[in-house]
A and B are shown apart, each in its own frame.
Chain A
């Protein structure tokens, strides 16, 4: 059974830092990988999707990469801002599956 680990569970940093969030899968055969952001009391917002033929995606200050050989993904946040404070979740599918498996998330606090 595929399991997804996000460590640490929480992170508190001062504004302006460049951040690296990690996500790892027990089965490295990841087909698609998606990063989400969740604000308190809200649904999940899609940040980046890395599809099967890709290795990374970028959107503004965010960059996500996927190393399929190790089953690890990284979300890089440049020049963090207080507005980046949220819980970040990664999720992946395996080839032939229509189901995303989610990590439990990492709560990020960016202090002014």
Chain B
């Protein structure tokens, strides 16, 4: 299994609070991705990174920011959480932009 660790795995927070999810990889892969998975919508890309300090937006990036200061860590931040951001968040990694994608176990976020 690809070495991907997401933390926290579960979090309950209140509307308006900041939240940061962390993805840590031990594979030294260049690309890292954040997805959210919701019933009826499937998996949607939030942001991705193609190298340290290099990031780009996905299809549902509003309300989210990311940072990657080291190859192994990719952080997803919700500056002010809203109930619509209640979801399961998955981190994924890939050696190349079109290479095989490997997923973490997910982080379940509930915003009350």
How many chain A residues sit at the interface, stated as a range, is 20 to 34
Contact with A along B55-83 (1 / 0, CB 8 A): 01010000000000000000000000000
Verify A42–B100 contact, CB threshold 8 A.
no
Q: CA of A73 to CA of B91 in the docked complex: distance in angstroms?
A: 25
Verify A105–B101 contact, CB threshold 8 A.
no
Binding site for B on A (CB under 8 A): 31-32, 34, 36, 41-46, 49, 51-52, 89, 91, 93, 97-100, 102-105
Closest to A100 in B: B101
Give chain B nearest CB distance to A77 CB in angstroms.
20
Closest to A102 in B: B43
**Assuming A99-B48, A102-B42, A104-B42, is B101 touching A43 (CB within 8 A)?**
no
Q: CA of A30 to CA of B102 in the docked complex: distance in angstroms?
A: 19
Q: Which of B48, B90, B104, B106 contacts A98 (CB 8 A)?
A: B48
Q: CA of A55 to CA of B31 in the docked complex: distance in angstroms?
A: 25
Verify A43–B104 contact, CB threshold 8 A.
yes
**Assuming A31-B98, A49-B100, A100-B101, is B42 touching A43 (CB within 8 A)?**
no
Q: What residues on B are CB-neighbors of A46 within 8 Å?
A: 100-103
Q: What residues on B are CB-neighbors of A102 within 8 Å?
A: 42-44
Verify A32–B98 contact, CB threshold 8 A.
yes
Give chain B nearest CB distance to A31 CB in angstroms.
6
